[in-house]
Protein backbone atom coordinates (compact mmCIF):
# COMPACT_ATOMS: atom_id res chain seq x y z
CA UNK A 1 0.00 0.00 0.00
CA UNK A 2 1.52 3.24 -1.09
CA UNK A 3 1.76 6.29 1.08
CA UNK A 4 -0.74 9.04 0.24
CA UNK A 5 0.97 11.96 -1.43
CA UNK A 6 0.86 15.34 0.20
CA UNK A 7 -0.70 17.88 -2.13
CA UNK A 8 1.47 20.64 -0.67
CA UNK A 9 4.62 18.74 -1.65
CA UNK A 10 3.21 18.12 -5.08
CA UNK A 11 2.35 21.78 -5.43
CA UNK A 12 5.99 22.75 -5.00
CA UNK A 13 6.91 20.87 -8.17
CA UNK A 14 3.90 21.45 -10.38
CA UNK A 15 1.74 24.55 -10.60
CA UNK A 16 -1.12 25.23 -12.94
CA UNK A 17 0.31 26.91 -15.99
CA UNK A 18 -1.48 30.16 -16.78
CA UNK A 19 -1.81 30.81 -20.48
CA UNK A 20 -0.40 34.18 -21.40
CA UNK A 21 -1.05 34.90 -25.10
CA UNK A 22 1.68 36.73 -26.94
CA UNK A 23 0.07 39.80 -28.46
CA UNK A 24 3.00 40.26 -30.85
CA UNK A 25 2.36 36.84 -32.43
CA UNK A 26 -1.43 36.87 -32.44
CA UNK A 27 -2.97 37.75 -35.77
CA UNK A 28 -6.05 39.63 -34.58
CA UNK A 29 -7.06 40.54 -38.13
CA UNK A 30 -7.27 36.95 -39.34
CA UNK A 31 -10.93 35.86 -39.29
CA UNK A 32 -9.75 32.26 -38.92
CA UNK A 33 -8.60 33.11 -35.38
CA UNK A 34 -12.20 33.60 -34.34
CA UNK A 35 -13.82 32.93 -31.01
CA UNK A 36 -15.91 29.76 -30.76
CA UNK A 37 -18.89 30.94 -28.72
CA UNK A 38 -20.21 28.46 -26.16
CA UNK A 39 -23.98 28.27 -25.82
CA UNK A 40 -25.12 29.51 -22.39
CA UNK A 41 -28.47 30.01 -20.75
CA UNK A 42 -29.75 32.34 -18.06
CA UNK A 43 -31.94 35.33 -17.36
CA UNK A 44 -29.78 37.96 -19.07
CA UNK A 45 -29.00 35.70 -22.02
CA UNK A 46 -32.71 35.08 -22.56
CA UNK A 47 -33.37 38.82 -22.29
CA UNK A 48 -30.69 39.59 -24.85
CA UNK A 49 -32.02 36.92 -27.20
CA UNK A 50 -35.58 38.21 -26.93
CA UNK A 51 -34.50 41.81 -27.44
CA UNK A 52 -32.53 40.72 -30.49
CA UNK A 53 -35.55 39.09 -32.07
CA UNK A 54 -37.69 42.13 -31.26
CA UNK A 55 -35.14 44.47 -32.87
CA UNK A 56 -34.87 42.21 -35.93
CA UNK A 57 -38.65 41.99 -36.31
CA UNK A 58 -38.99 45.76 -35.95
CA UNK A 59 -36.36 46.28 -38.66
CA UNK A 60 -38.02 43.82 -41.07
CA UNK A 61 -41.64 44.88 -40.60
CA UNK A 62 -41.29 48.67 -40.39
CA UNK A 63 -41.02 49.25 -44.19
CA UNK A 64 -44.29 47.34 -44.71
CA UNK A 65 -46.38 49.53 -42.43
CA UNK A 66 -48.70 51.75 -44.52
CA UNK A 67 -49.36 55.40 -43.75
CA UNK A 68 -51.93 56.89 -46.07
CA UNK A 69 -50.81 56.44 -49.67
CA UNK A 70 -47.19 55.63 -48.76
CA UNK A 71 -45.22 53.46 -46.36
CA UNK A 72 -44.80 54.71 -42.80
CA UNK A 73 -41.03 55.15 -42.93
CA UNK A 74 -39.63 56.25 -46.27
CA UNK A 75 -36.42 58.16 -46.91
CA UNK A 76 -37.20 59.62 -50.32
CA UNK A 77 -33.80 60.79 -51.54
CA UNK A 78 -35.07 61.72 -54.99
CA UNK A 79 -37.56 64.23 -53.57
CA UNK A 80 -35.29 65.11 -50.62
CA UNK A 81 -37.95 64.21 -48.07
CA UNK A 82 -37.80 61.88 -45.07
CA UNK A 83 -41.18 60.48 -44.09
CA UNK A 84 -41.46 59.07 -40.55
CA UNK A 85 -45.11 58.20 -39.98
CA UNK A 86 -46.92 61.57 -40.00
CA UNK A 87 -43.73 63.63 -39.86
CA UNK A 88 -42.01 64.91 -43.00
CA UNK A 89 -38.46 66.16 -42.67
CA UNK A 90 -37.15 68.55 -45.32
CA UNK A 91 -33.48 69.45 -45.95
CA UNK A 92 -33.84 72.68 -43.97
CA UNK A 93 -34.96 70.60 -40.97
CA UNK A 94 -31.72 68.62 -40.77
CA UNK A 95 -30.41 70.90 -38.02
CA UNK A 96 -33.29 69.74 -35.80
CA UNK A 97 -32.50 66.14 -36.74
CA UNK A 98 -28.85 66.70 -35.84
CA UNK A 99 -29.93 68.11 -32.46
CA UNK A 100 -32.09 65.02 -31.89
CA UNK A 101 -29.15 62.74 -32.68
CA UNK A 102 -26.95 64.75 -30.30
CA UNK A 103 -29.47 64.29 -27.48
CA UNK A 104 -29.66 60.57 -28.23
CA UNK A 105 -25.86 60.33 -28.17
CA UNK A 106 -25.63 62.02 -24.77
CA UNK A 107 -28.38 59.71 -23.50
CA UNK A 108 -26.31 56.75 -24.67
CA UNK A 109 -23.24 58.14 -22.92
CA UNK A 110 -25.23 58.64 -19.72
CA UNK A 111 -26.49 55.04 -19.74
CA UNK A 112 -23.01 53.72 -20.49
CA UNK A 113 -21.51 55.58 -17.54
CA UNK A 114 -23.83 53.89 -15.06
CA UNK A 115 -24.64 50.53 -16.68
CA UNK A 116 -21.64 49.80 -18.89
CA UNK A 117 -21.86 48.58 -22.48
CA UNK A 118 -25.52 47.57 -22.45
CA UNK A 119 -25.90 48.98 -25.96
CA UNK A 120 -23.20 46.64 -27.26
CA UNK A 121 -24.63 43.61 -25.50
CA UNK A 122 -28.34 43.98 -26.15
CA UNK A 123 -29.28 46.32 -29.00
CA UNK A 124 -26.26 46.88 -31.25
CA UNK A 125 -27.03 45.63 -34.80
CA UNK A 126 -23.61 43.98 -34.99
CA UNK A 127 -24.44 41.96 -31.86
CA UNK A 128 -27.97 41.09 -33.01
CA UNK A 129 -26.91 39.88 -36.46
CA UNK A 130 -23.83 38.07 -35.12
CA UNK A 131 -25.92 36.02 -32.70
CA UNK A 132 -28.41 35.21 -35.46
CA UNK A 133 -25.52 33.90 -37.54
CA UNK A 134 -24.20 31.94 -34.55
CA UNK A 135 -27.67 30.40 -34.12
CA UNK A 136 -27.50 28.99 -37.65
CA UNK A 137 -23.91 27.90 -37.00
CA UNK A 138 -24.97 25.88 -33.97
CA UNK A 139 -27.91 24.32 -35.81
CA UNK A 140 -25.78 23.00 -38.67
CA UNK A 141 -22.39 22.41 -37.03
CA UNK A 142 -23.29 21.66 -33.42
CA UNK A 143 -22.03 23.00 -30.10
CA UNK A 144 -18.69 24.73 -29.55
CA UNK A 145 -16.52 21.62 -29.22
CA UNK A 146 -18.14 20.01 -32.26
CA UNK A 147 -17.47 23.12 -34.33
CA UNK A 148 -13.82 23.14 -33.32
CA UNK A 149 -13.44 19.46 -34.25
CA UNK A 150 -15.29 20.01 -37.52
CA UNK A 151 -12.89 22.80 -38.55
CA UNK A 152 -9.92 20.58 -37.71
CA UNK A 153 -11.25 17.60 -39.69
CA UNK A 154 -10.25 17.01 -43.32
CA UNK A 155 -12.84 17.75 -45.95
CA UNK A 156 -15.55 15.10 -46.29
CA UNK A 157 -19.20 14.95 -47.40
CA UNK A 158 -20.37 15.54 -43.81
CA UNK A 159 -18.22 18.65 -43.45
CA UNK A 160 -19.11 19.89 -46.94
CA UNK A 161 -22.88 19.80 -46.54
CA UNK A 162 -22.76 21.35 -43.07
CA UNK A 163 -20.55 24.22 -44.23
CA UNK A 164 -22.64 24.70 -47.38
CA UNK A 165 -25.90 24.81 -45.41
CA UNK A 166 -24.44 27.28 -42.90
CA UNK A 167 -23.08 29.70 -45.48
CA UNK A 168 -26.24 29.42 -47.59
CA UNK A 169 -28.34 30.42 -44.58
CA UNK A 170 -25.92 33.27 -43.84
CA UNK A 171 -26.21 34.55 -47.40
CA UNK A 172 -30.01 34.26 -47.29
CA UNK A 173 -30.20 36.29 -44.06
CA UNK A 174 -27.75 38.82 -45.55
CA UNK A 175 -29.86 39.15 -48.71
CA UNK A 176 -33.05 39.69 -46.69
CA UNK A 177 -31.20 42.29 -44.58
CA UNK A 178 -29.92 44.11 -47.67
CA UNK A 179 -33.28 44.24 -49.45
CA UNK A 180 -35.00 45.39 -46.25
CA UNK A 181 -32.47 48.19 -45.76
CA UNK A 182 -32.86 49.36 -49.36
CA UNK A 183 -36.66 49.29 -48.94
CA UNK A 184 -36.34 52.19 -46.50
CA UNK A 185 -35.26 54.33 -49.48
CA UNK A 186 -37.42 52.76 -52.21
CA UNK A 187 -41.05 51.71 -51.60
CA UNK A 188 -40.94 48.10 -50.49
CA UNK A 189 -43.69 46.72 -52.74
CA UNK A 190 -42.16 48.34 -55.81
CA UNK A 191 -38.67 47.20 -54.83
CA UNK A 192 -39.45 43.51 -54.30
CA UNK A 193 -41.52 43.21 -57.48
CA UNK A 194 -38.80 44.82 -59.61
CA UNK A 195 -36.07 42.83 -57.87
CA UNK A 196 -37.73 39.45 -58.38
CA UNK A 197 -38.77 40.16 -61.98
CA UNK A 198 -35.27 41.52 -62.79
CA UNK A 199 -36.69 44.94 -63.73
CA UNK A 200 -34.83 46.93 -61.07
CA UNK A 201 -32.14 49.40 -62.02
CA UNK A 202 -28.46 48.60 -61.88
CA UNK A 203 -27.98 50.93 -58.89
CA UNK A 204 -30.54 48.96 -56.86
CA UNK A 205 -28.83 45.66 -57.64
CA UNK A 206 -25.47 47.18 -56.78
CA UNK A 207 -26.57 48.36 -53.32
CA UNK A 208 -28.38 45.11 -52.54
CA UNK A 209 -25.28 43.09 -53.46
CA UNK A 210 -23.05 45.51 -51.57
CA UNK A 211 -25.05 45.32 -48.33
CA UNK A 212 -25.43 41.54 -48.70
CA UNK A 213 -21.66 41.11 -48.84
CA UNK A 214 -21.18 43.61 -46.00
CA UNK A 215 -23.66 41.81 -43.73
CA UNK A 216 -22.21 38.40 -44.59
CA UNK A 217 -18.66 39.57 -43.89
CA UNK A 218 -19.44 41.53 -40.72
CA UNK A 219 -21.67 39.04 -38.89
CA UNK A 220 -20.22 35.86 -40.35
CA UNK A 221 -16.47 36.42 -40.43
CA UNK A 222 -15.29 39.65 -38.83
CA UNK A 223 -17.61 39.75 -35.79
CA UNK A 224 -15.57 41.04 -32.82
CA UNK A 225 -12.97 42.53 -35.20
CA UNK A 226 -15.60 45.11 -36.15
CA UNK A 227 -16.13 45.98 -32.48
CA UNK A 228 -12.44 46.23 -31.62
CA UNK A 229 -11.07 48.08 -34.65
CA UNK A 230 -13.94 49.74 -36.56
CA UNK A 231 -16.78 50.61 -34.20
CA UNK A 232 -16.75 54.35 -33.32
CA UNK A 233 -18.67 53.64 -30.11
CA UNK A 234 -15.75 51.58 -28.80
CA UNK A 235 -13.50 54.62 -29.18
CA UNK A 236 -15.65 56.51 -26.66
CA UNK A 237 -15.35 53.92 -23.90
CA UNK A 238 -12.24 55.31 -22.19
CA UNK A 239 -13.86 58.74 -21.86
CA UNK A 240 -17.12 57.40 -20.41
CA UNK A 241 -15.81 54.93 -17.83
CA UNK A 242 -14.98 55.65 -14.20
CA UNK A 243 -14.34 53.53 -11.12
CA UNK A 244 -18.07 52.89 -10.59
CA UNK A 245 -18.83 51.62 -14.11
CA UNK A 246 -19.75 47.95 -14.43
CA UNK A 247 -17.34 46.07 -16.69
CA UNK A 248 -16.43 42.46 -17.43
CA UNK A 249 -12.79 41.85 -16.56
CA UNK A 250 -10.34 39.30 -15.28
CA UNK A 251 -8.54 39.61 -11.96
CA UNK A 252 -5.01 38.41 -12.71
CA UNK A 253 -4.18 38.18 -8.99
CA UNK A 254 -7.04 35.78 -8.25
CA UNK A 255 -6.32 32.08 -7.88
CA UNK A 256 -3.01 32.01 -9.71
CA UNK A 257 -1.22 30.09 -6.93
CA UNK A 258 -3.62 27.16 -7.04
CA UNK A 259 -1.98 23.79 -7.55
CA UNK A 260 -3.18 20.46 -8.85
CA UNK A 261 -4.41 18.03 -6.19
CA UNK A 262 -5.74 14.52 -6.44
CA UNK A 263 -9.54 14.08 -6.03
CA UNK A 264 -9.06 12.07 -2.82
CA UNK A 265 -6.90 14.78 -1.29
CA UNK A 266 -9.43 17.48 -2.24
CA UNK A 267 -12.26 15.50 -0.67
CA UNK A 268 -10.33 15.04 2.57
CA UNK A 269 -9.42 18.73 2.67
CA UNK A 270 -13.06 19.76 2.16
CA UNK A 271 -14.30 17.36 4.87
CA UNK A 272 -15.89 14.87 2.42
CA UNK A 273 -15.38 11.19 3.24
What are the tens digits of pLDDT across the range 87-121? 888 888 878 878 888 898 888 888 877 777 788 88
Tell me, what's the pLDDT at 254? 63
Is residue 108 one of the residues assigned to a domain?
yes
pLDDT > 70: percent of the chain: 75
For residue 172, name the pLDDT band (cuts at 50, 70, 90): very high
Alpha-carbon distances, residue 99 vs 96, 102, 104, 235, 255 (angstroms): 5, 5, 9, 22, 50
pLDDT winner (highest mean) among 28-37, 51-60, 176-185: 176-185
Which residues have CB under 8 Å from 229's CB, separation 6+?
Answer: 28, 29
Residue 259 has pLDDT above 70, yes or no: no
Q: Please state the three-class secondary structure of the chain as a single string.
A: CCCCCCHHHHHHHCECCCCCCCCCCCCCCCCCCCCCCCCCCCHHHHHHHHHHHHHHHHHHHHHHCEECCEECEEEECCCCEEEECCEEECHHHHHHHHHHHHHHHHHHHHHHHHHCCHHHHHHCHHHHHHHHHHHHHHHHHCCHHHHHHHHHCCCCHHHHHHHHHHHHHHHHHHHHHHHHHHCCCCCHHHHHHHHHCCCCCHHHHHHHHHHHHHHHHHHHHHCHHHHHHHCHHHHCHHHHCCCCCCCCCCCCCCCCCCECCCHHHHHHHCCCC
pLDDT of residue 216: 95
Which has more confidence, 35 or 160?
Answer: 160
The number of distinct structural domains making up the chain is: 1
Q: Within a domain: residue 254?
A: no
The answer to whether position 145 is within a domain reads: yes
pLDDT of residue 120: 82
- At 108, phi and psi to the nearest 5? -65, -40
Q: Which range marks the domain in which residue 158 is found? A: 44-243
* More reliable by pLDDT, 27 or 162: 162
User: Residues 168-186: what's their mean pLDDT?
Assistant: 94
* pLDDT number for residue 214: 94
Give 20's pLDDT tier (boundaries 50, 70, 90): low
Question: Does residue 92 lie within any of the structural domains?
Answer: yes
Distance CA(75)–CA(184), nearest Å, equals 6
Is residue 97 in some structural domain?
yes
What angle, 0 to 180 degrees and rounded to 10, lies between the N-to-C axes of helices 125-141 and 144-152?
70
Amino acid sequence: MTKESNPKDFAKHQRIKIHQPDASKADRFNPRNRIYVRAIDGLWTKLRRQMGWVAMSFFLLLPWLPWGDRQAVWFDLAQQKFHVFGLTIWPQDLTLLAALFTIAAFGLFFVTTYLGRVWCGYTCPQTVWTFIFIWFEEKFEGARNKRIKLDQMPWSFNKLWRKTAKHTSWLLVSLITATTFVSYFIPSRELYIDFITLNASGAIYFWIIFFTIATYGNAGWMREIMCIHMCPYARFQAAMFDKNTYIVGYDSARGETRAFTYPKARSKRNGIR
